[in-house]
């Protein structure tokens, strides 16, 4: 039986609405307005302004429609961290199923949905970290079973614990490891901001490519390049850690220009469709990370739901590339905007 007969976006969303009841409304538009302040949960911190800014900043860009050209079958392939991927879409690191999503899936089940769904669709998934170290280890175990094809992210814990987490990631044979530096203000975990020297020490003490997630300024992007980060993720943690930050689409162009191709720039925040992916790439990103839409997909359909969502978004990206005259991802630049 074909995938479309077994499952579709509508059935995935309906199932997700049932499993996420009380934690996510699975709104027609995931814009942060209905879930203001619902942290824990799926909402944005405080007034929800940071979450809403992510969506609104991206929506503000208009696109030129161009059809007088020869682009018919655009190529969405990308190579990052030594992997040839079919799409520039990464699954974001997500944990805390019990307190953020209601616990219909446990940590291992969620990680399986994310990692396997991404691999099936030619993307790359991530796993996350939470107060209980068992949550990081559950995700890491799933990545290890997938021959290391996934990226575990840790919180900015104290250095001795960071080194322990790095050793676990190395033993699991993962292709890269990352840190959510924007989680430095969480009160449920012993975390703290990291100095330039801290980051250099961390990177010098692992053989793995190290990704710094949570960069929102040019100054901190420069630090990441200087200390030897393998990539950065422009992110405000989905608007879940600090109220009133700008949307990621507002700060991305300046950050991407400053990095100037020295390391890959990934971005998350408000990406809901393939057209949103096109916009983020045009603003300077090499790839995007998806969070909330894949939670809905994973809770609604497991790995198959995640794969369905990513394929749909990739097909939307291809259509947008045809209608803007972009043959490859490298062709997508600011000229697509009105």
Average pLDDT over residues 133-143: 96
Average pLDDT over residues 94-115: 96
The response to whether 240 counts as a known ligand-binding position is yes
The response to whether 167 counts as a known ligand-binding position is no
Chain-centre distance of CA 158, in angstroms?
Answer: 24
Q: In the chain, how long is the greatest CA-to-CA distance?
A: 58
The response to whether 69 counts as a known ligand-binding position is no
Domain boundaries, the chain: 78-326
pLDDT at 5: 52
pLDDT > 80? residue 139: yes
The response to whether 213 counts as a known ligand-binding position is yes
Digit-coded pLDDT (tens) for 105-122: 999 999 999 999 999 999
Digit-coded pLDDT (tens) for 308-321: 999 999 999 999 99
Strands 151-154, 177-180: pairing kind: parallel
pLDDT band per the 50, 70, 90 thresholds, residue 137: very high
The response to whether 73 counts as a known ligand-binding position is no
Digit-coded pLDDT (tens) for 160-171: 999 999 999 999
Q: Rounded to whole angstroms, how far apart are CA atoms 23 and 20? A: 5
pTM for the model: 0.96
Average pLDDT over residues 24-36: 97
Average pLDDT over residues 13-28: 96
pLDDT > 50? residue 4: no
pLDDT at 186: 87
pLDDT band per the 50, 70, 90 thresholds, residue 88: very high
Which residue matches tokens 């290890």?
Answer: 144
Digit-coded pLDDT (tens) for 213-249: 999 999 999 999 999 999 999 999 999 999 999 999 9
The response to whether 291 counts as a known ligand-binding position is yes
- State the chain's mean pLDDT as an integer: 96
The response to whether 86 counts as a known ligand-binding position is no
pLDDT at 2: 43
Report the percent of the chain where pLDDT is more than 90.
Answer: 96
pLDDT band per the 50, 70, 90 thresholds, residue 188: confident
Q: Rounded to whole angstroms, how far apart are CA atoms 252 and 47? A: 23
pLDDT band per the 50, 70, 90 thresholds, residue 187: confident
Superfamily (CATH) of domain 78-326: Aldolase class I (3.20.20.70)
Q: Rounded to whole angstroms, how far apart are CA atoms 228 and 223? A: 9
Average pLDDT over residues 254-281: 98
- 3-state SS of 245-286 is CCCHHHHHHHHHHHHCCCCCEEECCCCCCHHHHHHHHHCCCC
Q: Rounded to whole angstroms, how far apart are CA atoms 32 and 35? A: 6
- What tokens does 195 get? 């100095």
Q: Rounded to whole angstroms, how far apart are CA atoms 32 and 52? A: 5
> How many beta carbons lie within 10 A of that of residue 127, not counting itself?
30
The response to whether 270 counts as a known ligand-binding position is yes
Q: Which residues are the active-site residues?
A: 237
pLDDT > 50? residue 3: no
């Amino acid at each position: 039986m074909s995938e479309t007969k077994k499952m579709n976006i509508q059935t995935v969303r309906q199932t997700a609405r049932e499993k996420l009841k009380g934690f996510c409304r699975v709104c027609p538009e995931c814009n942060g307005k209905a879930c203001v302040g619902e942290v824990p949960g799926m909402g944005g911190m405080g007034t929800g302004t940071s979450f809403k800014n992510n969506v609104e900043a991206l929506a503000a860009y208009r696109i030129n429609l161009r059809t007088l050209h020869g682009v018919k079958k655009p190529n969405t392939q990308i190579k990052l961290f030594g992997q040839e991927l079919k799409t520039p879409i990464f699954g974001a690191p997500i944990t805390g199923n019990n307190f953020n999503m209601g616990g219909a899936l446990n940590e291992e089940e969620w990680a399986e949905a994310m990692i396997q769904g991404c691999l099936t669709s030619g993307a790359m998934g991530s796993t996350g970290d939470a107060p209980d170290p068992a949550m990081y280890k559950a995700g890491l175990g799933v990545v290890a079973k997938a021959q290391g094809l996934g990226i575990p992210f840790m919180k900015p814990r104290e250095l001795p614990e960071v080194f322990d987490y790095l050793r676990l990631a190395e033993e699991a044979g993962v292709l890269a490891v990352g840190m959510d530096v924007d989680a430095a203000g969480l009160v449920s975990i012993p975390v703290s901001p990291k100095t330039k020297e801290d980051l250099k020490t961390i990177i010098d003490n692992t053989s793995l490519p190290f990704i710094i997630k949570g960069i929102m300024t040019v100054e901190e992007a420069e630090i990441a390049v200087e200390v030897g980060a393998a990539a950065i993720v422009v992110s405000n943690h989905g608007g879940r850690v600090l109220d009133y930050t700008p949307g990621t689409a507002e700060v991305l162009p300046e950050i991407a220009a400053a990095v100037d191709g020295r390391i890959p720039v990934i971005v998350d925040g408000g990406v809901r469709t393939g057209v949103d992916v096109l916009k983020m790439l045009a603003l300077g990103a090499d790839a995007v990370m998806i969070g909330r839409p894949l939670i809905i997909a994973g809770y609604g359909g497991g790995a198959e739901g995640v794969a369905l969502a990513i394929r749909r978004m990739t097909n939307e990206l291809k259509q947008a590339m045809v209608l803007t005259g972009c043959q490859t991802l490298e062709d997508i630049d600011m000229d697509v905007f009105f």
